[in-house]
Structure 1
Amino acid sequence: MDAAEQFRAWVDEGHADLPLPGGGGTAERWAGLTAFGAVDLAAARLAEGHADAAAILAELTGEQAAPGEYWGVWAAAPRSLTADHDHNGWRVSGDRPWCSGAHTLTDALVTAQTPGGQALFHVRTADAAPLPDTWAATGMAASDSGTVRFAATPARPVGDPGAYLDRPGFWHGGIGVAAVWLGGARGVARPLFDRADHDPHQLAHLGAVDELLSTGDAVLADAARAVDAAPKADAERLALRVRAAVERVATGVLDHVGRATGAGPLCADAAHGRRVADLTVYLRQSHAERDLARLGELGTRP
């Protein structure tokens, strides 16, 4: 089963119908995303987008996706699309990069610049055109990503201009991405847990990986309690802390597993090599030192 098939199966079987953040089941939501990541990071990337779209719709409109629909959120490079309104309604134009599920999704939420500011729109992916040869990545190759061209594509507004970024759930979604990273780290760690013997060096690496993964679990659990206790609170600082912590956990797992197992699994186990490549690429969705600088700025405030 490839990543697209796995994603569709999760949606069709109801596994992607996760509790909405801030409703008392946030820990369950993020645990579900972590579980997806441990199975297949590319499929989990699509499932995370579908779950995030569901949360956005619920927060801004109260709507739900219909059976047989596969949703995503294409909001990278926010100024790459513009939206105009005429007697036929809204139309979105431009090339949007980094669109995961470009050939897989049925529906997407996209950001676009309007005369009134940045706004969020619902588009049917059948009305847009994925551009060939715009995703050369080895890691996350199966995420069906690339640039999608919108040429006066019919679009429906979702919320008012600015609502997508201003809502509390924006940062909850950012933590959801970190939950998938943690799942990816669990998948990468599997060969070490499977093969560790009485070699003291492997056991030391195994202990370090166990500590890292349990730290990631604790960070997400603590964040879930905070979100459920105050679902409308500004969660930017919380999200930046969680994402930085989980990125450090996942990076540490990649390092320890590689040092403990050597080149063998990377060269002889295609699934493991793919997990390592996928996680390495997916972690770069973090903004690294830019996010740390922003966290430092927020930390100076009372």
Structure 2
Amino acid sequence: MPDAGPVLVGGRTDLEQVELADLHERAVESAADVDSALKVALDAGARLPVPGDGRTAHLWSALASVAAADLTVARVLEPHLDALAILGQAHESPEAGAYGVFAAEGPGEPLRASPDGWVHQLDGRKHWCSLAGVLDRALVSAWVGDRRQLFSVDLRQPGVRVVPGTWVARGLVAVDSGPVDFAGATARKVGEPDWYLERPGFAWGGIGVAAVWFGGAVGIARRMRRAAMARTPDQVALMHLGAVDTVLHAARCTLEQAASATDAGVLTGSDGWRAALRVREVVAHAAEQVLQRAAHGLGPGPLATDEDHARRVADLELYLRQWHAERDQAALGQELLRPGAPGW
């Protein structure tokens, strides 16, 4: 486990490793700076592959490498890449600018879409709209009757208003993910109703998020290793390092296997959804173990005096809440009871 540089999911060619090293360094230079992160995302989006095209491991290595450097940059990059992959699956070309994906559901009346000639109009509030105030466009899910559909929306138009004063998080402070109010906003459909959730890429995108968690955990583990190398470690410090290495190895292997299966075309339908739940579970548990071991092994000092480490811990703790914990475990259990589901 190196103390700096890219994070590899599977073997990489020399050229790919150079690309990952450059991307990692740019993320280091852009740490906690959203404007710089947007430039990184636009450049990376023009060069990185999409999941399922034969180079999925390289894509997830890129996400992990950026996350090991800074999770704010990763939080900008991941949804932009996801949006490009979604548009590609829909056989549509992206428009210029940085994208987000606003597809989570929140409390209250959901966002609704109504036909308006060749386009749709969006009305209502959408929750969890990360960086809506600085992005150019977003892919936004809304309800058309009793079905969900995805739409491409220009966030600069008058019918889009970011709700101020709602983001009070101590992690990912610069990535405002509060709600947005839509009032007659023009939107163009992307796929048919329910397509967004049913396409194979929905599961692949969920695994991509896990690659970010993995990279964030590696960044914290590297801080633990540096601390141990700065002085003669005792048995407790060695124990924590060994435990962290084990869980990160398991997470890396799980991501690598999932990347190979994605490229082989076998993670589709229910198989893809089960795989996403499993991978996210393994990686999330690994990340939580790293957070706990770092807290026990390093003590309060770095949290109080090391800006990079304190921010990384707070960012990862919040980022991990995209994993739904016991609810995702229950969803996986339900999948295992479906007729034809593979056993052990």
Question: TM-score category by the smaller chain?
Answer: over 0.9
Counterpart CA distance in 1 for 2:308 and 2:336 is 40
Residue 288 of structure 1, aligned match among 300, 307, 325: 325
User: Does the CA-based 8 Å contact 2:220-2:312 persist in structure 1?
Assistant: yes
Change over 3 Å in CA distance of 1:295–1:87 after alignment to 2: closer
Superposed CA offset, 1:97-153 (max 9, x none) = 111112221000000111372111000111211111111111121212211111110
Superposed CA offset, 1:70-102 (max 9, x none) = 001001117621011234731101111111112
For structure 1, which segment, 114-123 or 28-37, has the greater mean C-alpha deviation from structure 2 after superposition? 114-123
- Name the residue aligned to 1:204: 239
User: Does the CA-based 8 Å contact 1:116-1:161 persist in structure 2?
Assistant: no
Counterpart CA distance in 2 for 1:201 and 1:219 is 27
- Name the residue aligned to 1:220: 255
Counterpart CA distance in 1 for 2:80 and 2:124 is 23
Cα offset, 1:21, TM superposition: 0.9
Q: Does residue 118 of structure 2 align to residue 81 of structure 1? A: no
Cα offset, 1:232, TM superposition: 6.3
User: Does the CA-based 8 Å contact 2:163-2:179 persist in structure 1?
Assistant: yes
Q: Does residue 214 of structure 2 align to residue 186 of structure 1? A: no
Per the alignment, in what secondary structure is the counterpart of residue 66 of structure 2? helix
- Name the residue aligned to 1:23: 53
Counterpart CA distance in 2 for 1:281 and 1:80 is 24
Per the alignment, in what secondary structure is the counterpart of residue 295 of structure 2? helix
- Name the residue aligned to 1:176: 208
Give 1:41-190 correspondences, 5 Å limit: 41-66=71-96, 69-77=97-105, 80-87=110-117, 89-115=119-145, 117-127=147-157, 128-190=160-222
What code does the residue aligned with 2:100 have? G
What code does the residue aligned with 1:214 have? H
User: Does the CA-based 8 Å contact 1:92-1:150 persist in structure 2?
Assistant: yes
- Name the residue aligned to 1:252: 289
For structure 1, which segment, 154-163 or 37-46, has the greater mean C-alpha deviation from structure 2 after superposition? 37-46
Cα offset, 1:279, TM superposition: 0.7
Counterpart CA distance in 1 for 2:120 and 2:43 is 34
Cα offset, 1:271, TM superposition: 1.6
Counterpart CA distance in 1 for 2:105 and 2:144 is 15
Per the alignment, in what secondary structure is the counterpart of residue 142 of structure 1? coil
Cα offset, 1:163, TM superposition: 0.8
Counterpart CA distance in 1 for 2:118 and 2:273 is 38
Per the alignment, in what secondary structure is the counterpart of residue 121 of structure 1? strand
The total of aligned residue pairs comes to 300
User: Does the CA-based 8 Å contact 1:191-1:265 persist in structure 2?
Assistant: no
Per the alignment, in what secondary structure is the counterpart of residue 93 of structure 1? strand
Contiguous gaps of at least 5 residues in structure 2: 1-29
Counterpart CA distance in 2 for 1:87 and 1:255 is 54
Larger relative contact order (Cα-Cα within 8 Å, sequence gap ≥ 6): 1
TM-score (norm 1): 0.94
User: Does the CA-based 8 Å contact 2:34-2:73 persist in structure 1?
Assistant: yes
Counterpart CA distance in 1 for 2:134 and 2:172 is 15
Per the alignment, in what secondary structure is the counterpart of residue 72 of structure 1? strand
User: Does the CA-based 8 Å contact 1:181-1:279 persist in structure 2?
Assistant: yes
User: Does the CA-based 8 Å contact 1:22-1:228 persist in structure 2?
Assistant: yes
Contiguous gaps of at least 5 residues in structure 1: none
Counterpart CA distance in 1 for 2:137 and 2:225 is 39
TM-score (norm 2): 0.83
User: Does the CA-based 8 Å contact 2:210-2:280 persist in structure 1?
Assistant: yes
Counterpart CA distance in 1 for 2:100 and 2:54 is 24
Counterpart CA distance in 1 for 2:176 and 2:47 is 22
Counterpart CA distance in 1 for 2:44 and 2:246 is 32
Counterpart CA distance in 1 for 2:78 and 2:266 is 19
User: Does the CA-based 8 Å contact 1:3-1:40 persist in structure 2?
Assistant: no
